[in-house]
Structure 1
Amino acid sequence: MIQVINRALEILEYVSKQGGEPASLSEIAEAAGIHQTTCANIIKTLTDKNYLEHLGRKKGYRLGASAYHLTGNLAYNQNLILAAKPIMEALTAKLNETSLLGILRNNKRFLVHVVTSDQDLQVRTRSESDIYPTASGRMLMASLPAKELDNLIQILGLPQPHIWPDIHSKEDLLAALQDIRKKEIAVTLSTKHIVGLAVPIRKNAQVIASLSIFLPESRFTSTHKESILQELRSAAQQINERLQMES
């Protein structure tokens, strides 16, 4: 038996039994019967891969998105996904473009639900992505409180020129994010000619996720553009209303 794998599984099993309540490093280490330093190293890897989610200093860890996606379990952000799923399906059916529901986790943009179109030419995306290249990542970043935003910028640094050409300083970045927050729309165009559009999803006035559409630039025509923006905003509003009803 490979010891480190065995220990990682013991950690995941212990955290999974906490019913969604966070477990501290010391509690996990004691339950797994391993030294805290060893436990911390394993936990870091599990957190980096989104099998665990760190809730902040002194708050502990709980199961992350990858642990739930491994089994197809909707319990992770269940209310959000259940509220968004039928609306996203209707949005994709209407536009015949892939729709994505994204959140921020561990300084990455993470997809919690995807509805794929049946276009012959489709754009593929990873469930986990860096924030700057994606419209949903930028939308979510723009919606952070000032202190959290400043901390995230310190961690990420500035985007590379080929990722976000107009950003040359922190001031440029803050101004661009403020514009996204004000207009409530983030639009990206990649070097591979892929267009991304994202709008915020709110619960109790707080942005908790981003709804986005992405497609080849060749399909983002002037006539199609207005329809996409209108339907995307309408779908987001419907999700917001469903979430508000659950509060």
Structure 2
Amino acid sequence: MAGDSGGRAGSGYFVQSVARALSVLRTFTAERRAQSLSDVARETGLDRATTRRLLLTLVDLGYVAVDGNSFSLTPRVLEFGYAYLSAMSLPELAHPHLQALAGELNETAALAELDGDEVVYLALVPSRRLAAVKINIGTRFDAYATSMGRVLLAGLPEVELEARLERLQLPRRTERTVRDVAALRAEIARVREQGWALVDSELEEGLRGAAVPVRDRAGRVVAAANVSVHADRTTPALVEREYIPVVLRTAKLIEADLIAGVGQRDTTGQPDR
């Protein structure tokens, strides 16, 4: 029942009217966007007179709208969510979405940002399938050899990208590691065009990674989200067809929370100066 107070009503500080008002708000769902007084009373277990007073108070405060006999929430209720999200950093915002991504694909999911010529892991949900690969929050890899790195490089302004490529060294990590700057530049151009990157056994033999950009409200690439899989369980075509769409969807969810919650904060959660 929506009006259940969880057994705390006997405490000395408990304000029953607050609990009842919140129980009224919680009755509104995607399936019950508009409700009558009787609907809300039934869902909360409160009598009609109490329910009416609570609803009309919420109308006066701007959290509920009334149209005839129908009540519905107003956008003002989003203030509560914004206040919560604005106190969170990008890794905190991303983590539940990465958990969902890892759970859906049963693979390791991560978020990283560009730091110099390296990617640094900001958030990580590991999978037992990738237990042999030692990755932790704070782990760094050369950006050129990773899917997240190529997404982040592709998000740089052209002048900055070229400056980085001119000084970049490309040590070979595996037989498949990109061999020269011209080939890397072409790969980054392809990533920009298609909106995602797929790197196959260039960082470590048998490790395949797929990444997509995470953008802020200004459209700037501030991070990359990815999944890492063993090459012997997948093919590039399978990853492109079945994995990348899920990672793209996850990035959109992270972006939505970031845009809603960051406000005047940067991506690390620190106030803008």
TM (norm. structure 1) is 0.61
C-alpha separation in 1, matches of 2:124 and 2:114: 15
Give per-residue Cα distances to partners, 1:21-46, cap 9 Å, x unaligned: xxxxxxxxxxxxxxxxxxxxxxxxxx
Alignment of 1:77-92 (within 5 A): 79-92=89-102
C-alpha separation in 1, matches of 2:199 and 2:182: 19
Q: Is the 8 A contact 2:108 2:130 kept in 1?
A: no
> In the alignment, which of 120, 123, 140 is matched to residue 110 of structure 1?
120
Amino acid aligned to 2:196: I
Partner residue in 1 for 2:195: 184
Partner residue in 1 for 2:256: 241
Structure 1 unaligned runs (5+)? 1-76
Aligned-partner SS, 1:83 = helix
C-alpha separation in 1, matches of 2:130 and 2:157: 40
C-alpha separation in 1, matches of 2:259 and 2:155: 18
C-alpha separation in 2, matches of 1:115 and 1:151: 33
Q: 1:227 to 1:122 in 2, by over 3 A?
A: farther
Aligned-partner SS, 2:127 = coil
C-alpha separation in 2, matches of 1:139 and 1:132: 10
> In the alignment, which of 184, 190, 207 is matched to residue 221 of structure 2?
207
Q: What is the Cα deviation at residue 125 of structure 1? A: 3.2
Give per-residue Cα distances to partners, 1:35-94, cap 9 Å, x unaligned: xxxxxxxxxxxxxxxxxxxxxxxxxxxxxxxxxxxxxxxxxx952112101100111111
Q: 1:104 to 1:189 in 2, by over 3 A?
A: same
C-alpha separation in 1, matches of 2:152 and 2:175: 17
The count of aligned residue pairs is 170
CA RMSD after TM alignment:
2.5
Provide the identity percentage.
26
Aligned-partner SS, 2:104 = helix
Q: Is the 8 A contact 2:210 2:239 kept in 1?
A: no
Instruction: Look at both structures and tell me which one has the larger radius of gyration over its CA atoms.
Output: 2
Q: What is the Cα deviation at residue 188 of structure 1? A: 0.9
Q: Is the 8 A contact 1:161 1:167 kept in 2?
A: no
1:138 paired to 2:150 = yes
Partner residue in 2 for 1:55: none
Give per-residue Cα distances to partners, 1:87-124, cap 9 Å, x unaligned: 00111111110011011113211101111123376533
> In the alignment, which of 168, 180, 185 is matched to residue 174 of structure 1?
185
1:97 paired to 2:121 = no
Q: 1:141 to 1:180 in 2, by over 3 A?
A: same
Amino acid aligned to 2:226: S
Structure 2 unaligned runs (5+)? 1-86, 264-273
C-alpha separation in 2, matches of 1:138 and 1:164: 15
Partner residue in 2 for 1:13: none
Aligned-partner SS, 2:129 = coil
Q: Is the 8 A contact 1:133 1:164 kept in 2?
A: no
C-alpha separation in 2, matches of 1:157 and 1:192: 20
Higher RCO (CA 8 Å, separation ≥ 6 residues): 2
Q: Is the 8 A contact 1:132 1:164 kept in 2?
A: no
